[in-house]
Every structure is written in C-alpha cells, then in structure tokens.
C-alpha cells in the first residue's frame, strides 16, 4: 500500500513524481543533513516511516523515526515518531527494552487518547512478556 500524498517529499525527490516510490524512499533515506531532511514536512516523514514499517522495512522505518526524533524534538507529531520507533524495535525481541522506552515516551507525549491507549497497550504487552520470560 502506497501512501496517498507526499507533496514535500516529491519536491526533494523527483522519483516520486515519476511514480518511483521506492526511488523516493531511497532518496529520503540518502538525505545527508538535517537541513535537507527538514525540507520534508512532518506528516510526510511520519507517513514514510509508517509505510516502511508496513512493507517490512523495519530498519529503514526505525532510521526514519529516529531521525525525526533527533531533527524535530518539538514537533507536534513527535508522539507518532516515538510510537513508530517502538513498533520497529519491538519486531526484534532483543530490543524489547529499547522499544519499551520509545513506547513510554509516546505515552508521555501523546496528543490524543487513542495514541496514549495504543502506547499503553504495547507497554503492557512488553511487561507481560517479561513476566512470562522471568517465570512468573
């Protein structure tokens, strides 16, 4: 499933206008500096990370979300970036502790009840897994 609109990404990555979404993704991932990445609107970056997560490119989605968190710490959509990073980390059981911290930040920064509830459900799931693995 390809996201519908990436207006700001299309301005920086011409492959998108040509219908080459994979090329546009690689273009964004290849942007070198913060200034280049900040030319892409918050919504486009979040949607890109979510898309990459959906198509199984967890490492790339994690890179997108981490860059968002680093580049835009005061962005209104920062809660979605933390949630996305947690989801990407959770796919590798060795990173459950890191995922937990991302979900905790998503919960703390949540701008909606729905996002807070989703983050909290992931926190509970990790805690339950930890209890099961500890034998109790």
pLDDT tens profile 65-98: 999 999 999 999 999 999 999 999 998 888 999 9
Asked if 79 contacts 115 with a C-beta cutoff of 8 angstroms, the reply is yes
> Is the whole-model pTM more than 0.75?
yes
Give pLDDT tens digits for 99-111: 999 999 999 999 9
**Integer Cα distance of 45 and 28 in angstroms:** 9
Asked if 69 contacts 102 with a C-beta cutoff of 8 angstroms, the reply is no
pLDDT value of residue 1: 38
Give pLDDT tens digits for 15-62: 877 778 788 888 889 998 899 999 999 998 998 999 999 999 999 999
pLDDT value of residue 25: 84
Picking from 75, 74, 87, 90, the residue whose alpha carbon sits closest to that of residue 44 is 75
pLDDT value of residue 23: 85
Residue 4's SS3 state is coil
Domains of the chain: 7-133 (1.25.40.10)
Picking from 85, 54, 57, 59, the residue whose alpha carbon sits closest to that of residue 72 is 85
pLDDT value of residue 3: 47
For range 3-21, the mean pLDDT: 76
Please check the confidence at residue 127 and state whether its pLDDT lies above 90. Answer: yes
**Integer Cα distance of 96 and 113 in angstroms:** 24
Please check the confidence at residue 136 and state whether its pLDDT lies above 80. Answer: no
């Amino acid at each position: 499933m390809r996201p519908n609109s990436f207006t700001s990404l299309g301005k920086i990555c011409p492959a998108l206008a040509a219908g080459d979404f994979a090329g546009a993704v690689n273009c964004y991932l290849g942007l070198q500096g913060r200034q280049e990445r900040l030319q892409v609107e918050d919504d486009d970056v979040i949607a890109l990370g979510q898309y990459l997560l959906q198509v199984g490119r967890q490492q790339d989605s994690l890179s997108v979300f981490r860059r968002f968190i680093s580049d835009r710490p005061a962005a209104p959509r920062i809660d979605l970036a933390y949630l996305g990073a947690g989801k990407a980390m959770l796919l590798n059981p060795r990173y459950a502790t890191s995922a937990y911290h991302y979900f905790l930040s998503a919960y703390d920064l949540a701008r909606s009840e729905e996002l807070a509830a989703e983050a909290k459900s992931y926190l509970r799931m990790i805690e339950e897994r930890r209890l099961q693995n500890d034998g109790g």
